[in-house]
Chains A and B, each alone.
Chain A
Amino acid sequence: STTSALVDELNRVSAENKKLSEMLTLMCENYNVLRKQLL
Chain B
Amino acid sequence: IEKKEVSDLASADLAKKRLVKDEKVNKLQDELNRAISENKKLTETLARVCESYNALHSYLEALQSRKSPEHDNFQKEHDKFASSSTGLGYGTTEIISDDKATVSTAYFPADKSDTSLSVRDGYQWRKYGQKITKDNPSPRAYFRCSFSPSCPVKKKVQRSAEDPSLFVAHYEGTHNHPGPHVGGSRTVKLDLVQGGLGPVEEKKERGTVQEVLMQQMASSLTNDPKFTAVLAAAISGRLIDQSRT
A: residues with CB less than 8 A from B are 2-3, 6-7, 9-10, 13-14, 16-18, 20-39
User: Does B32 have its Cβ within 8 Å of any Cβ on chain A?
Assistant: yes
Interface residue count on the B side (C-beta < 8 Å): 47
Contact yes or no, B28 A10, CB < 8 A: yes
B25 touches A3 (CB 8 A): yes
Q: For the complex formed, measure the closest distance between the CB of B37 and the CB atoms of chain A, giving whole angstroms.
A: 10
A14 to B24, CA, bound (A): 18
In the assembled complex, the Cα of A28 lies from the Cα of B50 at a distance in Å of 9
Given that A7-B28, A21-B217, A34-B57 are contacting pairs, would A16 and B39 also be in contact in the complex, using a CB cutoff of 8 Å? yes
Query: Is B242 positioned at the interface, with any CB of A under 8 Å from its CB?
Result: yes
Give the nearest-CB partner of B61 in chain A: A34
How far, in angstroms, from A6 to B30 measured CA to CA in the complex? 10
CB–CB B131/A32 < 8 A:
no
- B49 & A27 in contact (Cβ 8 Å cutoff): yes
| Contact partners of B239 in chain A: CB under 8 A | 32, 35
B interface with A by C-beta (< 8 Å): 21, 24-25, 28-29, 31-32, 35-36, 38-39, 42-43, 45-46, 49-50, 52-53, 56-57, 59-60, 63, 113, 115-116, 127-132, 139, 210, 214, 217-218, 221-222, 231, 235, 238-239, 242-243, 245
| Cβ contacts A to B, 26 pairs, < 8 Å | A6-B25, A6-B29, A9-B32, A10-B31, A10-B35, A13-B35, A13-B36, A14-B222, A17-B39, A17-B222, A18-B221, A18-B222, A21-B42, A21-B222, A25-B217, A28-B49, A29-B116, A29-B214, A30-B131, A34-B53, A34-B60, A35-B56, A35-B242, A37-B60, A37-B128, A38-B60
- Which one, B29, B43, B115, B242, contacts A22 given CB within 8 A? B115
> B56 to A14, Cβ gap below 8 A?
no
One of A9, A14, A31, A36 near B49 (C-beta < 8 A): A31
List of A residues within 8 angstroms of B46 by Cβ: 20, 23-24, 27
Instruction: Select which of B28, B53, B57, B210 is within 8 A of A3 by beta carbon.
Output: B28
Given A27-B49, A33-B129, residue A3 in contact with residue B115 (CB < 8 A): no
B218–A25 touching, CB < 8 Å: yes
State in angstroms the CA–CA spacing of A39 and B56 once bound together.
12
